[in-house]
Amino acid sequence: MIICILFSYFEEYLYSILNTDFLISELIKRLNNLEVEFTQLKTDYVELQSQNTTLQTRIIELESRLKSNSSNSSKPPSSDGYQKKPAFAKKVKGTKGGQKGHKGNNLKQVAKPDRIIKCVPEKCSCGHEFHNNEFTLSEKRQVFDLPQPKLEVTEYQIHSIRLSKYIFHNNIRGCIFAACLH
């Protein structure tokens, strides 16, 4: 019986030795295959990195082309396409015109204008005709025009009477008559 047991141990030992050699040879084959595969993957990785860099550069170039138009490049306006532009400029913060506390400047009336045009009504809407002695000077307005080569000042002397009042002359943006006051 002891011999049988010894034989069985010996048989297991031989099998493990043979099996170990087989396993080692299989592992070596597998390791060689993995080394070849790793080398191929490393080559592919380097190539893909190069392609990625090239594509990123191309994307940046194309995006910059999309952002360019006639206002920020030398392209003609016809190349802008049919993009709708805003109808009004962006609102600027602050108030329009002179700021608070600013005195401002304007043209003062002159004592001797170049021309004087008397604005007198011809007749009232009720049919009453006016005479020169009925008019009194009620207002003076001066318009400063800059014809070539000298400044021409026109004074409009607006006369009124008790029946009606002529407020503007035809050359000063319209005529307005008041109704007849009786």
How confident is the model over 100-149, as pLDDT tens digits? 888 777 788 899 998 898 888 777 777 777 777 778 888 899 988 876 77
pLDDT of residue 108: 86
Question: What is the gyration radius of the CA atoms in the chain, in angstroms?
Answer: 52
Sheet holding 115-119, edge to edge: 115-119, 152-160, 136-145
- The reported pLDDT for the residue numbered 147 is 67
Pairing mode, strands 152-160 and 115-119: parallel
Q: Are 116 and 169 in contact (CB under 8 A)?
A: no
pLDDT of residue 14: 63
pLDDT at 59: 94
Q: DSSP string covering 75-101, please?
A: --GGGG-SPPPPSSPPPPSS-SSSPTT
**What's the pLDDT at 178?**
44
- What is the reported pLDDT for 1? 59
Using 70 as the pLDDT threshold, list the residues of the chain that sit under it. Answer: 1-2, 4, 6-7, 9-10, 13-19, 85, 94, 147, 150, 160-182
pLDDT at 171: 45
Q: Is 153 helix (H, G, I), strand (E, B) or coil?
A: strand
